Structure 1
C-alpha cells in the first residue's frame, strides 16, 4: 500500500503498528493524535517514536512552573504541550516513546505498562510496574529464597530485589499519561534506554520560579530516574539495543491482541522498504515519515507549535516576590541578595497574557521607582512569551540599579534572556 493511500486506510483497519522515522516531537504528537481521532473506536494502535531533545508537558500544565525555560533555550531544547494530561517529561534520542490506543472497554492503566516491562525484562530483571503505573528499576539487594512468577502480568509487578531500603530507592525509567474519550483510550509513555542527558533532566524540569508561584492546573511529581542500558555500551550497541527493544514491544503488542504475527515482519528486515505500508486482512503496519502527512496531521502540527497552544492554554497563575504563606509552617522563599529589600513584584497571568502587574519601589527611590512604574504600564496586557526580555523594555537613561535588579529577577523567573 502506497503512502498516499495510508490516510484513508487508517480509518478502516482494526489493528495498526507504526514506527516513526521522524525526530520532530511536533510531528510525532500530531501523528499520535491523528491515529487516536481517525482510527475506528474498537481499533488497536501501537506507535513507537524517538524525539530530538525536548520537554513535553501535560495539557493542563504551566511551562513556566514545570521547566527551566532559560536552560531549554540555551541548550536548544524544545518545549511542547501534548493533548493528554500527566506530568512533564524529557525526551531525547536515547528515549523510546510508545503510544497505544485501544477501546476503553479493553483498557486498564497497567495493561500496556506490563507489555513494555515484559520487553524490558530482556535487558534487566529489575524492571517492574509500580503503583503509579510507572516503570521502575528496583535498586535493592536480592531477597533470599524468594519465588516469583516471572511471567504474565502479575510477574511484572514485583522483582526479586528489595524495595524497603531507603538508601536504595527504585529509579524511574518510564512515566505514563492517559486520555479516555468517546469510547477510546490512549496510553503513552516514555522509556529511558540510554539518554545522554540523564544528568541534566532534573535541571531542565526544575523551574527557578517555583517558590514564587501560585498556580492552578496539574503539577508534576518529580522522581529520581536512570537509564536501562549500561552507560558503558558504545553507540553501536546502544542503537542495536534500542532497535531490539522496539521489535520486542511490537511482537508483544501483536501477541497481546491476537494479531497475525506477520505484522511484525516489516520491522524485522533491515532492508524493508520505508516508503510504503504493509496491509493484511485486518491490519496495517509501516514506517511513518513526514512524507505521510495528511491535512489533519498538518493542521495538528500547526496547532501544537503555536504560542497560543504552548503558552496561551496555561491555567492562570500569579508570580510574586513575596507570596502569601498558606500556613504558619510555611516559610517565605529566599530572594537573591541583589534583589532590593524594599521592592515588590506581583504579576497575574491568564491565558498567557499579563492581566495585572505591580513592579514597585518606595517613592523616595525617585527615577528607579518611576522606571518600574512605566515598565509595568508598558507590559500590562501583553502576551508573556512574546516579550523577549523585560530588561530590554526598561526605559530611562541610565536605568537605575534598583530597577535593573527587579527586572533582572523578573526575567529569571519567566525564563527570559538576561542582559549582560
Structure 2
C-alpha cells in the first residue's frame, strides 16, 4: 500500500514555515507524497525572480511591521494573513514526463464542491470563483521532485492585501517576472455561517484521506528542527536573500 503523508504547522511564523516547507521538499525525498497545510501571520511572499519595490509598497510594509519573504519558486507576489490557508503538495516523479499540475489543487476543488462551491483552475493555474481569484499558485522542480503551493483566500483582509500590493507611484524598477494583477475574493462568504479556517483545513484533509490509499501524519525529529532553524537564518530571513538582485530587471 502506498503511503502519503501530511503535516499541519502549529506555527504562524512565515520564516519558520517556509523553511519547514523547504525541509519537506529537499530533505524527505524518500517520501513519495507529502501534503503540508500552514497559516501565517501577516506577511508578503515574493516569487524568486521578483524585486520588492516593483511588486509592493515597501515603505508601507515596513511601517506596518509586516514580514517580507522570497520564495525559491517562481510566480507572483502574494499577501498572507491568518485568513489565508496555504496548501503545499510535494511529490516525486519523472521530470522528463512532466508533472500534472492540474491535479495538485484538485483536492481543494473537490472538497469545496462538496459544500456546493465551484472553483475552477484558470489557464494561468490559479483558482477562481465566479471569475475572481481565490488562490494563486507557484511551483518548483528539482531532480524529479515537485513542490507546488497555493495560497487560498479564505477570510483574508482584502483591503490590506490591495494596499500592500499597490506599488508606489513613480517606481521605475521592474521585476524579471512581474506579477499579474487580478481581482480577488474570499471563500468564506460562500460557506455555511460560522465556518472557520480550521473547518476548511479539515475539509481538505478529509478529501485527501478519500483520495489516498493511506494518509498518515508526519512526525518531525530534532534533526528536522535543526535544519529548519539553520535554513531560516541562513537563507529565508537573511537580507541578502530577501533583497537579492536576482529578481531585478533594468530600470525603464
**TM-score, with structure 2 as normaliser:** 0.88
2:8 aligns with one of 19, 27, 35: 19
- Counting only pairs closer than 5 Å after superposition, residues 209-228 of structure 1 correspond to structure 2 as 209=169, 212-228=171-187
Preserved CA contact (<8 Å) 2:133 2:184 = yes
1:108 Cα deviation from its structure 2 partner: 0.9
For CA contacts below 8 A with separation 6 or more, give which structure has more relative contact order.
2
- Counting only pairs closer than 5 Å after superposition, residues 357-368 of structure 1 correspond to structure 2 as none
Secondary structure at the counterpart of residue 203 of structure 2: helix
Preserved CA contact (<8 Å) 2:91 2:145 = yes
1:70 Cα deviation from its structure 2 partner: 1.2
CA-to-partner distance for each residue in 1:44-93, whole Å, 9 max, x for gaps?
00010000011100111101111111111222211111111110001000
1:313 Cα deviation from its structure 2 partner: 4.1
1:177 aligns with one of 131, 135, 138: 138
Cα distance in structure 1, aligned partners of 2:16 and 2:188: 27
- Counting only pairs closer than 5 Å after superposition, residues 321-332 of structure 1 correspond to structure 2 as 323=252
1:95 Cα deviation from its structure 2 partner: 0.6
Structure-2 change in CA distance of 1:216 and 1:70 (3 Å) = closer
Structure-2 change in CA distance of 1:223 and 1:216 (3 Å) = closer
Counterpart position of 2:236:
304
- Counting only pairs closer than 5 Å after superposition, residues 57-68 of structure 1 correspond to structure 2 as 57-68=46-57
Mind listing any 5+ residue stretches in structure 1 that lack a counterpart?
1-12, 139-169, 264-283, 324-420
CA-to-partner distance for each residue in 1:219-244, whole Å, 9 max, x for gaps?
1001000011129988xx24xx3222
Counterpart position of 2:159:
199
Cα distance in structure 2, aligned partners of 1:172 and 1:208: 23
Counterpart position of 1:78:
67
1:212 Cα deviation from its structure 2 partner: 3.9
Q: Which runs of 4+ in 1 moved over 6 A?
A: 231-234
**What value does the CA root-mean-square deviation take over the aligned residues?**
2.6
Preserved CA contact (<8 Å) 1:30 1:300 = yes
Secondary structure at the counterpart of residue 205 of structure 2: helix
CA-to-partner distance for each residue in 1:144-189, whole Å, 9 max, x for gaps?
xxxxxxxxxxxxxxxxxxxxxxxxxx11000100111101011100
Cα distance in structure 2, aligned partners of 1:130 and 1:317: 27
Counterpart position of 2:114:
122
Preserved CA contact (<8 Å) 2:137 2:149 = yes
Secondary structure at the counterpart of residue 84 of structure 1: coil
Q: Which has the higher strand share?
A: 2
Give the structure with higher Rg (CA). Answer: 1
Residue 56 in structure 1 maps to residue 45 in structure 2: yes
1:242 aligns with one of 188, 194, 197: 197
Preserved CA contact (<8 Å) 1:124 1:228 = no
- Counting only pairs closer than 5 Å after superposition, residues 129-168 of structure 1 correspond to structure 2 as 129-138=121-130
Cα distance in structure 2, aligned partners of 1:39 and 1:27: 17
Cα distance in structure 2, aligned partners of 1:48 and 1:317: 33
